[in-house]
Amino acid sequence: MAVFTPVSRDELSLWLKNFSIGTLTGFEGIATGIENTNYFVATSHARYVLTLFEKLTRAELPFYLNLMSHLARHGIPCPAPIADHGNRLLGELNGKPAAIVTCLSGRSELSPTPEHCAALGAMLAEMHLAGQSFGMRLENPRGPKWWRATAPQVMPFLDAARRKLLGDELAFQASHRLDALPRGVVHADLFRDNVLFDQGRIGGFIDFYFAGSDVLLFDLAVCVNDWCVDAAGGFDAARAGAFLAAYHAVRALTENERAAWSVLLRAAALRFWLSRLFDLHVPRRGEIVHPHDPEHFRRILELRTGDPAPPWV
């Protein structure tokens, strides 16, 4: 269970007095996630999600909380942070930075259809457009700088073939400049379990705590590598086509983005292969309970180095 900092009922009841969201009626730990401590919180007013941040610092957190507030104000269904009586979005509970946000409706769709992928593509494009007016900037925390710093830490755990794949891909990515691509706020982790569907419609994007400033195309690559693949990691043409068409209808993709598409698909595969290797081999004590299998994204990366990218619309 991904609850690293326990909170008692009395502690939570006292903390909630800082907010105008009613009195506590119930709460339970959320078992998913590997980064933070999360609880569902029910009050006399509504349901919320409480997060105690285990890694992110107080200096980093205003970007994420203000981003969610900004997107929610612009109609993007995402958790909206609740301000306390002092108009602060970030507090402290049991020695950890803490925030409470609205609880969205719906559930994750782990077997998406082309229709689910189309809904995702349209909403992602809307999010990218809404993010253009967000004034804060934070470099993608799991971008190229993180890749270069992390690779030497996991190399000793790899066999010769995997070391070569990792080294070759880092060199390939370093050889491509992406300066001409549209940039803005990216979610950067929009996997199937971070999207809620409610009666076939998007109920919310959740877990923004890997978001940052990057090329917008990176978000599309992350989504296609998770939402639009078969069991072996190959592209599902129907789902990929539906996703890309729906995105393009809201925010037209540029010729430069089309030219860089295969590079970004490889970059997205590299990012998650590296992060899963790191979580498996260099965990922080008590934080990683069930690390994901790195081999899944190793196979996807190998496929992306040879397979043609899914067709544009």
| Residue (of 35, 2, 7, 28) closest to 207 by Cα position | 35
Number of domains in the chain: 2
Same domain? For 129 and 72 the reply is no
Same domain? For 235 and 197 the reply is yes
Tokens for 171, please give them.
Answer: 């060199």
Q: Does residue 311 form part of some domain?
A: no
Cβ-based neighbour number of residue 99 at 10 Å: 25
The per-residue pLDDT for range 42-79, each reduced to its tens digit, is: 999 999 999 999 989 999 999 999 999 999 999 999 99
Same domain? For 78 and 122 the reply is no
Same domain? For 30 and 143 the reply is no
For the four alpha carbons of 111, 309, 128 and 222, in that order, the dihedral sign comes to positive
The pTM of this model reads: 0.94
Same domain? For 134 and 281 the reply is yes
Tokens for 118, please give them.
Answer: 């189309």
Instruction: For the chain of 313 residues, list the mean pLDDT of each consecutive stretch of 10.
Output: 83 98 96 83 98 93 98 98 98 97 96 98 98 97 97 98 98 94 98 95 96 98 97 94 97 96 97 96 64 93 86 65
Residue range of the domain that includes 167: 114-304
% of the chain surpassing 90 pLDDT: 88
Q: In CATH, what number is assigned to the domain containing residue 177?
A: 3.90.1200.10
**8 Å CB contact between 242 and 117:** yes
Q: Does residue 313 form part of some domain?
A: no
Same domain? For 61 and 158 the reply is no
Q: Does residue 205 form part of some domain?
A: yes
Same domain? For 220 and 188 the reply is yes
